[in-house]
Amino acid sequence: MTSRLPKSIDPFKFCKKKTAISGQIDVRQLKRLSKIASTETGVVTIDLVFEKNSSRVNHVHGSIDAVISLICQNCLKEFDTEFHLEMALAFVTSESGMMKVEPMESVIVEDSKVDLFHLIEDELILALPISAKHKDCKKIIHNSQLGEIIEETIEKKENPFEILKQMKH
């Protein structure tokens, strides 16, 4: 187990040695993610195991946990979003290698080095919601004719096909 995380790794050596790493990354070190997040505070906790599977494929699996502050796209207020991601990636050296490990997600490794922080950051960015919103958000609508701000609670809309589902039974 490693507590201090290396920024760059040789995934094939890590897999050969069955290396397990765990530790924390400051969100400020993840430049692309910190531009999306509303604040640069927080940490990303990782727990990863590098090994070869039964098919002799070099891969990494484990978990990524983080709390990231986002801006609600309805009310424009900041809120924290918890992420718990299960990660599983194969390491290959070419595009043809990607075909061999399908359906597993894969990463092409050039120069036998991978930026670990970039890999973690990619997984978190892919997990971000398309449009970040609170669960129980109050939407603010500006009525320009009256010059008033009206708050209304956004409620879940009824599914129009729910009636058909009931009729089926």
User: Do 2 and 23 form a contact (C-beta atoms < 8 A)?
Assistant: yes
In a domain, 144, yes or no: no
In a domain, 150, yes or no: no
Question: What is the model's pTM?
Answer: 0.74
Q: Pick the range with the lowest mean pLDDT from 60-69, 76-85, 137-146.
A: 137-146
In a domain, 49, yes or no: yes
In a domain, 143, yes or no: no
Higher pLDDT, 137 or 52: 52
Of residues 128, 148, 101, 70, the one with CA closest to residue 109: 101
In a domain, 66, yes or no: yes
Print the domain residue range for 68. Answer: 8-136
In a domain, 112, yes or no: yes
Higher pLDDT, 4 or 105: 105
Helix H, strand E, coil C: the string for the chain is CCCCCCCEECHHHHHHCCCEEEEEEEHHHCHHHHHHCCCCCCEEEEEEEEEECCCCCEEEEEEEEEEEEEECCCCCCEEEEEEEEEEEEEEECCHHHHHHHCCCCEEECCCCCEEHHHHHHHHHHHHCCCCCCCCCCEEEEEECCCCEEEEEECCCCCCCCHHHHHHHC
In a domain, 132, yes or no: yes
Structure tokens at 166: 């009931």
In a domain, 56, yes or no: yes
Instruction: Report the C-alpha gap between 124 and 86 in whole angstroms.
Output: 11
User: How many distinct structural domains can be found in the chain?
Assistant: 1
If you average pLDDT over each of 4-8, 117-121, 142-146, which comes out highest? 117-121
Q: What is the pLDDT, as a whole number, of residue 150?
A: 45
